[in-house]
Amino acid sequence: MEILEILGYFGALIIGVVLGLIGGGGSILTVPVLVYLLAINPVTATAYSLFVVGASALVGAFKNMQKKLVDFRTAIVFSIPAFIAVYATRKYMVPAIPESLFSIGGFEITKNIGIMLFFAIIMILASVSMIRENGKKKADSEKISYNYPLIIIEGIVVGVLTGIVGAGGGFLIIPALVLLAKLPMKKAVATSLLIIAIKSLIGFIGDVQNMNIDWIFLAIFTGLSMVGMFVGIYLNKFIDGKKLKKGFGWFVLLMGVYIIWAEIS
């Protein structure tokens, strides 16, 4: 086993630890770990990422259901357009992207490079949302209300983005639930995990029909991520999550910049 492969499996563990510690964000590391450490094709990596993210989020969602933090009505309204969009994106849009997109001064932007550059932009946007402090939090007593048209539109947008890059999209979902469904922050985080689980796993079904899946590898990688998640949940009792989230945001920003540099150089 090569050193990069060992680092790749260790990366699976770290992804889970980050998810357990800060409740999100770890999934944004899944594609870079699969592509740069385990040498997996970017299209396949985004598919595997959907499964890893979906399975991990499902574990978190069940834990939150036990605490009665999940708002099922909001989850259903958001999830239906999101999973239709992510399934259609994985089954029809991603396979339809041409292998050669365009050229700039003799430099060819291929499908794989395009996906990684788009992923890097999403990483940078995610990092900004993690770094910025949102001082205004909704009170738990505030009445929940629903802006259905905007929730549905947001569900479609998040579904398409998830389908292309294979990340959970929590950094888009949580603000949407707070602003559009008026959910308190704790409920928004808990509900977002259920939404992420549903749309990611249904999106992955679109890939099962299009590509050969290495189920043994995927089970090992996901299993390590799950172990890491429980380690992270345990460590969460001793570490300040807010400071950690900000520090992780800066790390994700650097990763996004690195991916852009690596792909265009």
* Domain region containing 76: 3-264
Look at the chain and report how many structural domains it folds into: 1
Q: What pLDDT is attached to residue 21?
A: 75
pLDDT of residue 214: 93
pLDDT at 134: 55
DSSP letters for the chain: --HHHHHHHHHHHHHHHHHHHHSSSGGGGHHHIIIIIS---HHHHHHHHHHHHHHHHHHHHHHHHHTT---HHHHHHHHHHHHHHHHHIIIIIHHHS-SEEEEETTEEEEHHHHHHHHHHHHHHHHHHHHHS-------TTSPP---HHHHHHHHHHHHHHHHHH----HHHHHHHHHHHS---HHHHHHHHHHHHHHHHHHHHHHHHTTS---HHHHHHHHHHHHHHHHHHHHHTTTS-HHHHHHHHHHHHHHHHHHHHHHHH-
Give percent of the chain above pLDDT 70.
89
Q: What is the mean pLDDT of residues 245-257?
A: 84
The per-residue pLDDT for range 97-147, each reduced to its tens digit, is 898 888 887 788 888 888 889 888 888 887 887 787 654 454 454 555 667
Percent of the chain residues past pLDDT 90, beyond the cut: 12
Q: What is the pLDDT of residue 198?
A: 86
Lowest mean pLDDT among 16-20, 147-151, 169-173, 201-205: 169-173
146-186: pLDDT as tens digits: 677 888 888 898 888 888 876 766 767 877 787 777 888 77
pLDDT of 239 > 80? The answer is no
Q: What is the pLDDT of residue 224?
A: 93
